[in-house]
């Protein structure tokens, strides 16, 4: 019997992110309901990182070697499962190392719908390029756009006719601080970058909060609950 040959290139594909390739807005202040604010930067393709390429090569080599021994046919199938195991472990991100979850501020209500950006953060290192926020008298919604065009869902509640605003980050800039006020819902939210830029939406009620993250850490995503407003909120940082 000749050597077996397997092709597993499709096992290392990235998750199915939505790609936002059609933008028309150019305004920093929009009234509801523009679904996504136009990024002012040009997304650049994000090549497959070298470590992922090496994983694919090593796996393929291992399976080809195993194919030389017909008695290891069952193990070949196990090799496929091993590849799947690597994809599962990449949920923690091989590009974003040591992603951690912060505390959560706010409350949960009967109509609260949970959201969580952890599995949507790109598996390879793609910096945050834009943050869209919605608010009026309260904080109503958020969305994160990463370099390369990966976009999180718009976590949004339409109470009080919220207004959309956005903050665009340049190369080397990242979200370093998130704070706000809260009571029954998140009343306001303010994000700041390491270069001193900031964006605030919402009202002025509630008591203050600030996410306690180590100095120099980057905030790379959010989790929480939404109804007519954002009911509760936490962040992912690294």
When pLDDT is cut at 50, 70 and 90, the band that residue 79 belongs to is: very low
CATH, range 100-237: 2.100.10.30
Share of the chain above pLDDT 70, in %: 58
Residue range 56-65: mean pLDDT, rounded: 39
Domain ranges of the chain: 50-92, 100-237
Residue range 122-149: mean pLDDT, rounded: 91
- Are 69 and 63 in contact, with CB atoms under 8 Å apart? no
Q: What is the pLDDT of residue 124?
A: 67
Using the predicted structure, report yes or no on whether residue 69 has a pLDDT greater than 80.
Answer: no
Residue range 165-185: mean pLDDT, rounded: 97
Q: What is the pLDDT of residue 98?
A: 84
Q: What is the pLDDT of residue 90?
A: 32
Distance (Å, rounded) from C-alpha 30 to C-alpha 165? 7
When pLDDT is cut at 50, 70 and 90, the band that residue 122 belongs to is: confident
Q: Over the range 42-74, which residues count as b (16 or more CB within 10 Å of their CB) and which as e?
A: ebeebeeeeebeebbeebbebbeebbeeeebee
- The verdict on whether omega for the bond into residue 33 sits within 30 degrees of 0, i.e. cis, is yes
Query: pTM of the full predicted structure?
Result: 0.61
Residue range 221-235: mean pLDDT, rounded: 98
Using the predicted structure, report yes or no on whether residue 45 has a pLDDT greater than 90.
Answer: no
Distance (Å, rounded) from C-alpha 160 to C-alpha 135? 8
Distance (Å, rounded) from C-alpha 69 to C-alpha 55? 22
- Give the angle 18-219-194 at the CA atoms, nearest 5°: 120
Q: What is the pLDDT of residue 126?
A: 84
Distance (Å, rounded) from C-alpha 156 to C-alpha 168? 19
Q: What is the pLDDT of residue 148?
A: 85
């Amino acid at each position: 019997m000749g050597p077996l040959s397997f092709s597993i290139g499709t096992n290392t594909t990235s998750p199915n992110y939505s790609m936002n390739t059609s933008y028309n807005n150019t305004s920093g202040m929009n009234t509801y309901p523009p679904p996504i604010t136009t990024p002012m930067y040009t997304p650049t393709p994000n090549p497959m990182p070298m470590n992922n390429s090496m994983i694919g090569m090593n796996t393929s080599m291992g399976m080809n070697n195993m194919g030389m021994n017909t008695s290891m046919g069952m193990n070949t199938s196990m090799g496929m499962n091993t590849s799947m195991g690597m994809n599962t472990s990449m949920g923690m991100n091989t590009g974003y190392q040591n992603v951690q979850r912060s505390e959560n501020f706010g409350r949960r209500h009967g109509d609260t719908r949970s959201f969580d950006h952890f599995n949507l953060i790109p598996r390879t290192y793609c910096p945050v390029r834009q943050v869209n926020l919605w608010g009026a008298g309260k904080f109503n919604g958020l969305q994160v756009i990463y370099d390369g065009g990966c976009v999180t869902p718009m976590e949004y509640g339409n109470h009080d006719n919220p207004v959309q605003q956005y903050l665009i980050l340049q190369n080397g800039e990242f979200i370093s601080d998130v704070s706000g006020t809260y009571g029954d819902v998140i009343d306001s939210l303010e994000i700041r970058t390491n270069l001193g830029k900031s964006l605030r939406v919402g009202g002025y009620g509630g008591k203050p909060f600030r996410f306690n993250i180590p100095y120099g850490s980057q905030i790379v995503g959010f989790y929480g609950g939404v109804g007519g407003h954002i009911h509760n909120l936490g962040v992912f940082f690294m």
